[in-house]
Amino acid sequence: MNYIAYYQLKEQPFSTAIDNRFYYNSHQHAEALLKLKYAAEQRKGLAIVVGDVGAGKTTLARQLLEELTEDQYESALLVVIHAEISSEWILRKIAVQLGIENPVEEKVALLTQLYHRLVEIYDSGKKAVVLIDEAQMLHHKAVMEEFRGLLNIELDSKKLITFVFFGLNDLDETLALDRPLQQRVAIRHELCSLTQKTTEDYIRYRLEIAGTQKALFAEPALLAVHEASKGFPRLINTLCDNALLEGFLRKKEIIDEKIIREVAQDLKLA
């Protein structure tokens, strides 16, 4: 037996893997989605979302991608995995994600391919939207200049592509590498940590999605989770997952404050 069976759950409620079924639409996330969908809908060109580590930026990016329906958008999500990405690499990735099967190596020819594909998407009545996660890692001026160049592509006075950057707070410094690009930010939203009440609602929501409406966490335990995690969703998940495991090992029906405090110490969060 594991804690899933012990607490009569259908699955892990606090996995750190991104799963849109567990997306909790807090007030600030709902507001961010509204702004970003407006940017995509109105072809605003460039929108950015910034926030601390674990604030939920990647979760928000996945949810936005899901809500950009295929009948209205040609959309894609690119995740930057290291800092030494060249402008040619990013252009080829964008080309592939937008449906260009054989992007050429030569840069000018590749930009021509991209232009024709963007016109094709426009003529079909759809909007091209590319989401870039971990965008703060793109700290090369040449890469920023390529994004600016793509944002210059217009037809009938409308931009043919919209970018949404998700990144840490130093994304603003990355954009500052190319001042004209920085000045084109049409929408900016900063994700903050969750309030105490939202943290509690978030925990209850994920438990419900995982198969139970039982109050598995005592009220003081919920408060302790918020205090130890500072309201950051990733840390909330890690704390609660470990607490449920510890509760199972101790055969506790309810997770109390003591378990949360001990788990927080073990995780160096106290």
Model pLDDT for residues 225-247, shown as the tens digit of each residue? 999 999 999 999 999 999 999 99
Cβ proximity of 201 and 24 under 8 Å: yes
Classified as helix, coil or strand, 15 is coil
CATH 1.10.8 placement within the chain: 194-266
Is the confidence at residue 140, as pLDDT, over 90? Answer: no
Indicate the pLDDT class of residue 4, thresholds 50, 70 and 90.
Answer: very high
Indicate the pLDDT class of residue 1, thresholds 50, 70 and 90.
Answer: confident
Q: How many CB atoms lie within 10 A of CB 1?
A: 6
CATH 3.40.50.300 placement within the chain: 27-191
Rounded Cα gap, residues 38 and 94, in angstroms: 22
Tell me if the domain spanning 194-266 has CATH number 1.10.8.
Answer: yes
Report the CATH fold assignment for 27-191: Rossmann fold (3.40.50)
Rounded Cα gap, residues 188 and 166, in angstroms: 10
